[in-house]
Amino acid sequence: MTEQWTVSTPEKLTFDAEITRLRVRTVAGAVNVVADDGPARLEVTEIEGPPLQITLERGELVVTYDDLTWKDFSWKSLATFIGKWREGVRRRAVVSLAVPHGTRIELGSASSDTVISGIAAPVTVHSASGSTTLVGVSGPVDANTVSGSVHAQSVSGDLKVNTVSGELTVVEGASRTLKANSVSGPVTVDLARNNNTDVSLNNVSGEVSLRIPEPTNAQVHANTTSGDVSSAFDELRMAGTWGAKQLTGTLGTGSGKVKITTVSGSVALLRRPAPEDDTPKALDFSKEDEA
């Protein structure tokens, strides 16, 4: 059975049927997706331009415009799609959804800002210029953007990010596999403690900063053709000739992997203090009392 709705004004919908997959395709505005234990819900708080088409069939919930397809948001088609959108009727919608934790998520947008929180299933995001924020996602993530930023906080699922000039920031990264590719966007990654992560960061001209917790276990290999390299780890050794630099070595048992490659972008390996080092010390007032 297929259920359909046309939304042209602010509206709330509740879905009694089980939702296992969510596909959202928008142009501008915002899309917020949060995991929840209750029935799936959708709320459109702002909408401008053509109506949104909502379809629910066999556990798949689709939110889109009637003339948009998923292939419009593929990596190769984004540039063409953006030009088509700018020449057409203005479209903007602010959509919020609550879905079960295990719902597979696929989002595509031109400039919509996206927030995804608490999802335990695979997440795919294709965006041109909108920002993408991921919070507490434990399923694998595949995020692709042209100039939009990607912020990932406490993400434990495998994380793969591709950007052209968009910024990538990872905070408390707990992914077993973390791969990022960029042309000029800065990449900043902060790894969580007690995590043997396979990290691969590639950039052409953007800077790459990686904060590694102490203690940690990793084989490190970082190289750049002409960029600067700095390291807070004495265990790592620098080598290179004619501007090219290479930083290699083993931290702890070397069970994890860290690989960083840039052409002209700088590389910085930072040390995250051990837990006792960043715990505030108690003040001792005994000497003042004795005085």
pLDDT in tens, 187-224: 999 999 776 789 999 999 999 999 998 888 899 999 99
State the Cα–Cα distance between residues 28 and 226, nearest whole angstrom. Answer: 39
Question: Residue 68's pLDDT is what?
Answer: 80
pLDDT at 242 over 60: yes
Arithmetic mean of pLDDT, 55-77: 82
Tokens of 76: 């190769």
Model pLDDT for residues 122-145, shown as the tens digit of each residue: 999 999 999 999 999 999 999 999
pLDDT at 86 over 90: no
Question: Residue 273's pLDDT is what?
Answer: 81
Beta-carbon neighbour count of residue 18 at 10 Å?
Answer: 11
Worst-scoring range by mean pLDDT, 94-108, 181-195, 265-279?
265-279
Question: Residue 282's pLDDT is what?
Answer: 53
Sign for the pseudo-dihedral over CA of 94, 117, 98, 122: positive
Model pLDDT for residues 145-172, shown as the tens digit of each residue: 999 999 999 999 999 999 999 999 999 9
User: In what order do the strands lie in the sheet containing 150-153?
Assistant: 11-15, 40-48, 92-99, 29-35, 113-117, 132-135, 150-153, 168-173, 187-191, 208-213, 267-272, 229-231
Beta-carbon neighbour count of residue 269 at 10 Å?
Answer: 21
Region for residue 242 given its phi and psi (left: phi exceeds 0; alpha: psi -120 to 50; beta: otherwise): left
Arithmetic mean of pLDDT, 62-83: 71
At 83, the pLDDT band (50, 70, 90 cuts) reads low
Question: Residue 291's pLDDT is what?
Answer: 47
Worst-scoring range by mean pLDDT, 23-37, 58-72, 244-258?
58-72
Arithmetic mean of pLDDT, 235-263: 91
State the Cα–Cα distance between residues 178 and 175, nearest whole angstrom. Answer: 6
Tokens of 173: 């990264």
State the Cα–Cα distance between residues 186 and 209, nearest whole angstrom. Answer: 8
